[in-house]
Amino acid sequence: MKKLIVFCFTLIAWQNAMAYRLTTDFENGFYWSSFPVNFIVMDTDPNRLQLITALANNAVQEWEDAITEGLWNISSQQGSPVSNRNIIRWSTKFGKETGLAESSTLAVAVRYTKGPYVARAEIIINGNHPLNGIQEHLNTVLVHELGHILGLDHSENGDAVMAAQLQQRYQGLHWDDQNGMDYTVGETKRRQLIGFVSPLASSGETTEESPLSCGTVDMSGGSSGGGGGSNPIFSLGLGLLLALLALKSPFKGRAA
């Protein structure tokens, strides 16, 4: 029985281990040339500018408290967004600009590369989605999108902030989020140290910037909140029950 319990715990741990995923561009070797990454919040509405800036700084602080690293600097500027900066912006034409469904996508992170580096990035917030009008949810969206900025894609752990669906009862970074960020930051620093150049990087003869993979916060299929992850206690109980039933089954050892 003890071996069975140990096996079940091991199985659950294995299923939930390494649930974080990396963006395609990060996997292909592209990275930020230095830390911290400077972002500017831009908006023509002064009240919204102040709110988004405060929430973005809260999101930065949450990541940095978890991994004790200075990764981003957030500033703000009133006015229309400019295309040559790392910016966070509110969009009332989100669907037209991004091609994503306004009814299901809260925000998108877009990264552009030049040579081996991420040259610039944007976090575009869907101004037409009602959940972004709730400060608590908008803060979670920004935590999620900042993860995309450094190379984290959607986690397969439904309880992580990097899961595809918004955590409407978000209670802080999951260990999977922290493990993923620890890896991306460590790997980025390694590449910076050795001057790594991705085999897919251009020769540097062109200054054209091209956008690579985008991460989104998607509400489709799970808007009731709380994430889509399984409950480990329930999984353990179910696993034990099935195992006990199998041990008592008269058909044990027979091929179906």
Strands 87-91, 105-114: pairing kind:
unpaired
**Span 178-234, pLDDT tens digits:** 999 999 999 999 999 999 999 888 755 444 455 654 556 665 433 333 333 433 333
Q: Which of 11-15, 75-79, 149-153, 156-160 has the lowest mean pLDDT?
A: 11-15
Structure token pair of residue 240: 């034990």
**Span 56-82, pLDDT tens digits:** 999 999 999 998 889 999 999 999 888
Per-residue pLDDT at 245 exceeds 50: no
Per-residue pLDDT at 10 exceeds 50: no
**Span 77-134, pLDDT tens digits:** 999 888 789 999 999 999 999 888 999 999 999 999 889 999 999 999 999 999 999 9
pLDDT at position 212, please?
58
Average pLDDT over residues 141-164: 95
**Span 31-60, pLDDT tens digits:** 999 999 999 999 999 999 999 999 999 999
Q: What is the DSSP letter of 229?
A: P
Phi-psi region of 30 (alpha: psi -120 to 50; beta: other; left: phi over 0): beta
pLDDT at position 124, please?
95
From residue 160, alpha-carbon distances to 1, 97, 119, 153 in Å are: 32, 28, 28, 11
Q: What is the DSSP letter of 242?
A: H
Q: Residue 49 and residue 34: Cα distance in Å, rounded?
A: 26
Structure token pair of residue 3: 């071996």
Q: Which of 2-11, 149-158, 228-237 has the lowest mean pLDDT?
A: 228-237
Binning pLDDT at 50, 70 and 90, where does residue 253 land?
very low
Q: Residue 109 and residue 123: Cα distance in Å, rounded?
A: 4
DSSP assignment string, 41-54: EEES-HHHHHHHHH
pLDDT at position 41, please?
98
pLDDT at position 68, please?
80
CA 254 to chain centre: 45
Q: Which CATH number fits domain 19-202+210-218: 3.30.1490.100, 3.30.230.10, 3.40.50.1000, 3.40.390.10?
A: 3.40.390.10
Q: Residue 27 and residue 87: Cα distance in Å, rounded?
A: 23
Where do the domains of the chain lie? 19-202+210-218
Question: Strand (E) positions, 34-180?
Answer: 37-43, 72-78, 87-91, 105-114, 117-126
